[in-house]
Structure 1
Amino acid sequence: MLNIVLFGPPGAGKGTQAAKLIEKYGFHHISTGEVIREEIRQESPLGRSMKSYIDKGHLAPDELVIDIITEYVCKHKDCKGNVFDGFPRTTPQAEAFDKIMEMHGAPINLILSLEVPDEELIKRILLRSKDSGRADDRCESVIRNRIDVYKAQTAIVAEHYKKQGKYRAVNGTGDIDGIFRNLCAEIDPLLK
């Protein structure tokens, strides 16, 4: 089993690239952000508690996200591979994630980080807002806050995985297929 984390700031193209990876390799996919947004759409107790965080561009509490991931890993122990999108977002989440995955005999193999300049991220998210319906995609100040939160809390997770030799930076600008080829160039050697 190959376990990949698709890493990068909001608007880097993680969801787009995850869909292409799943189609090519037959991996399973989990987007913690999508799980949380679905809970918000359903107005579940979890969704209502998360809405105030998301609307302000803040991260979900670690405990909640770790519970979501643990449940997912338990259900997908025997698959070909997984693409984790939007997780881990903090160093405590990364540490807990490593323990969960090791406990299930399925360690993280690779962290692929999509690198995109801030102004390009803002442009992409504002464009995406026309289709997404997400309140946190419509306001530039909220978008900038999300990017700042990413830099302060999530980008530092890269150091955790660099120390393990699992981190790879991938240029996230250019056309979608070119970015995809760059991601595949990092994954293919692990499948041999």
Structure 2
Amino acid sequence: MNIILLGPPGAGKGTQAKKIQEYYSLPHISTGDILRENINNNTGLGIKAKSYMSRGELVPDELLITLIKDRLSKKDCDEGFMLDGYPRTIPQADALQMILTESGKKIDAVLNISVDDNELIKRLSGRRMCKCGASFHVLFNSPEKEDVCDACKGKLYQREDDKPEAISNRLNVYKKQTQPLIDYYDKKKILRTIDGSKDISQIFEEIKKVLEEYDKKDTK
């Protein structure tokens, strides 16, 4: 089964991606991981990508597409894969479609983990950091003493990009970028929206039900 995973910051996409990877034995493919792997291994593609990143520029679509094509050609993707963070735009989705068509593959399901903006802001704005590297959350992993690090007793602080105003802006950017992609896959009738406000285990059970439906279609 070939899956695309979508979800805004704070939706718990990373947690669910790990569960899907373990339960279905699917390789978890993210553009970030691919870029790091190629750069660390000093491949030709990695050298090209690094030249853009070192100048603070975005890696162009043409290079990302080549990286994705190369990754999907690996043997561990023969029985399926899960894409996370790609595609992000309609041109990237079109390019992915061409790659898969050439290799006789297709996307079976696009899982869109959806959470209300207010809940996302609450989740993301609750993070507190310490200069020693420790991380806490006022709701889910609070320190023993308010605003004091359990590890080094230093004062905890909130990062600028974890403040509500910054989070709201990040969510608006995500929606503007991703909504066309959601519509794109909805028209193809492979998009399924998952309620990300539930408990982690409940979300995963919903994901399993969706994937079982597609699996049954493929075996008919």
**TM-score in terms of structure 1 length:** 0.79
The equivalent of 1:107 in structure 2 is: 106
| Structure richer in helix, relative to its length | 1
Cα 1:15–1:38, aligned 2, differ >3 Å: closer, same or farther?
A: farther
Aligned length: 183
In structure 1, C-alpha distance between the alignment counterparts of 2:2 and 2:99, rounded to whole Å: 12
In structure 1, C-alpha distance between the alignment counterparts of 2:180 and 2:72, rounded to whole Å: 24
2:209 is aligned, of 164, 169, 185, to: 185
For the residue of structure 1 that corresponds to 2:110, the secondary structure is strand
In structure 1, C-alpha distance between the alignment counterparts of 2:96 and 2:207, rounded to whole Å: 22
Deviation at 1:164, TM superposition (A): 1.0
For the residue of structure 1 that corresponds to 2:73, the secondary structure is helix
Cα 1:39–1:81, aligned 2, differ >3 Å: closer, same or farther?
A: closer
The 10-residue stretch of structure 1 (29-38 or 150-159) with the greater mean CA deviation from structure 2: 29-38
**Pair 1:72-2:71 in alignment:** yes
The equivalent of 1:94 in structure 2 is: 93
**Pair 1:49-2:52 in alignment:** yes
Greater length-normalized contact order (CA 8 Å, ≥ 6 residues apart):
1
Cα 1:103–1:137, aligned 2, differ >3 Å: closer, same or farther?
A: farther
Query: In 1, are the aligned partners of 2:125 and 2:164 still within 8 Å (CA)?
Result: yes
The equivalent of 2:16 in structure 1 is: 17
The equivalent of 2:155 in structure 1 is: none
The code of the aligned residue for 1:165 comes to K
RMSD over aligned CA atoms reads 3.1
**Pair 1:167-2:167 in alignment:** no
Query: In 1, are the aligned partners of 2:21 and 2:27 still within 8 Å (CA)?
Result: yes
Per-residue Cα deviation, 1:7-63 (whole angstroms, up to 9, x for no partner): 111222221101101111111111224445678999x7635734746xxxxx76433
The code of the aligned residue for 1:12 comes to A
Identical positions, percent: 40
Query: In 2, are the aligned partners of 1:38 and 1:47 still within 8 Å (CA)?
Result: no
The equivalent of 2:28 in structure 1 is: 29
The code of the aligned residue for 1:153 comes to Q
The code of the aligned residue for 1:49 comes to Y
Query: In 2, are the aligned partners of 1:91 and 1:156 still within 8 Å (CA)?
Result: yes
Deviation at 1:81, TM superposition (A): 1.5
The code of the aligned residue for 1:144 comes to S
In structure 2, C-alpha distance between the alignment counterparts of 1:170 and 1:184, rounded to whole Å: 11
The equivalent of 1:148 in structure 2 is: 172
Deviation at 1:82, TM superposition (A): 0.7
Deviation at 1:78, TM superposition (A): 5.0
Instruction: Give ranges in structure 2 of 5+ residues lacking alignment.
Output: 130-134, 137-158
Query: In 1, are the aligned partners of 2:88 and 2:177 still within 8 Å (CA)?
Result: yes
For the residue of structure 2 that corresponds to 1:113, the secondary structure is strand
In structure 2, C-alpha distance between the alignment counterparts of 1:72 and 1:37, rounded to whole Å: 13
Query: In 2, are the aligned partners of 1:8 and 1:113 still within 8 Å (CA)?
Result: yes
